[in-house]
Amino acid sequence: MAINQASITEKEVGVCAQVKDHLIRLGIGFETTERPDILIINEPETNIPITIDAEETVVCLRITVCDEKKDKDFYLKLLRANALISHGHFQIENGKVILAENLEAENLDANELEASIASLVAAVIQNSGWL
């Protein structure tokens, strides 16, 4: 994911506009950021913030879940949880546990976006007891 990239292309801005259209059709509110290729949504039922980064070929959805725990049992649970998630995966980045999903931008439709958001939120809720 290129959240720290220096330049933003017109194609990324166009992909972000398509994502905005889908979110509006789905009735999911979002906030724009200073970057025209990044949105923040708050999932309507749980208010879990999800960052959406529109790239030229993919749309990246990310939830920052918790701080990384330096514990063997934690890593085993994280690996097991990954096997049960229908959309996305847990990853560790800069000491944080991130739940991420990448969707193909070219043929992205509202149903696919909605299913991915729902799956990510469900994964956070199902694993919140140990995260």
Residue 1 predicted with pLDDT over 50: no
Average pLDDT over residues 62-71: 95
Average pLDDT of the chain to the nearest whole number: 93
DSSP letters, 60-93, are EEEEEEEE----HHHHHHHHHHHHH-SS-EEEEE
Percent of the chain exceeding pLDDT 90 equals 86
Per residue in 70-121, pLDDT (tens digit) is 999 999 999 999 999 988 999 999 999 999 999 999 999 999 999 999 999 9
User: What tokens were used for 33?
Assistant: 């950021």
Could you tell me the residue ranges of all domains in the chain?
Answer: 10-127
Other Cβ atoms less than 10 A from the Cβ of 27: the count is 8
pLDDT of residue 7: 86
Give the CATH number of domain 10-127.
Answer: 3.30.1460.10
pTM of the model: 0.89
Query: What pLDDT band is residue 4 in, cutting at 50, 70 and 90?
Result: low
End-to-end CA distance of the chain: 23
Query: What pLDDT band is residue 32 in, cutting at 50, 70 and 90?
Result: very high
Nearest to 116 by CA among 37, 72, 61, 43: 61
CA distances from 95 to 67, 70, 80 (A): 6, 10, 19
Q: Are the C-beta atoms of residues 62 and 98 closer than 8 Å to each other?
A: yes
pLDDT of residue 39: 98
